[in-house]
Amino acid sequence: MGLLNLFSKDSPGLQILPSGSLSVDRNGKVLASTVSSIIPGETINQISQAVLRLFRGSREAQVPLTELTLQFASLKITARELRGGAMIFLTPKHTFNVSPQKKT
């Protein structure tokens, strides 16, 4: 049985997509957030650091960028530059609502 365990994989877990907004300073520290506390802080930090890197890169390339929108398969990220920091809006593309079962 030990050999068979080498080929078994854990089933992937479902993750809730972040939704809400957050304001970060120029160092990536979250100042205010409406994102649920269920979302890991590491995920929020990764998103904010990536957005700040994009804004910094545009300034270094001398291409002023004040707003950006990133559209992924299931998540839309909109960000506005705020004097080195950013206001970031996270919007899931699909919200899965459970509809009530009809009684027959």
The pLDDT tens digits of the residues spanning 39-66 come to 888 889 999 999 999 999 999 999 988 9
Which CATH number fits the domain that encloses residue 57? 3.30.450.30
Residues β-bridged to residue 77: 70, 90
In-domain check, residue 50: yes
3-class state of residue 35 by DSSP: coil
Q: What is the pLDDT of residue 8?
A: 64
In-domain check, residue 8: no
The pLDDT tens digits of the residues spanning 60-99 come to 999 988 999 999 888 899 999 998 899 999 999 876 555 5
Q: What is the pLDDT of residue 4?
A: 55
In-domain check, residue 13: no
Give the pLDDT band (50/70/90) at residue 9: low
In-domain check, residue 3: no
For the chain, how many structural domains are there in total?
A: 1
Indicate the pTM of the whole model.
0.74
* Maximum Cα interatomic distance, the chain, rounded to a whole number of Å: 65
In-domain check, residue 39: yes
Measured distance CA(75)–CA(86) in Å, rounded: 18
Domain that holds residue 39: 20-92
In-domain check, residue 15: no
Q: What is the pLDDT of residue 83?
A: 87
In-domain check, residue 77: yes
Return the closest-CA partner of residue 75 out of 31, 20, 7: 20
In-domain check, residue 24: yes
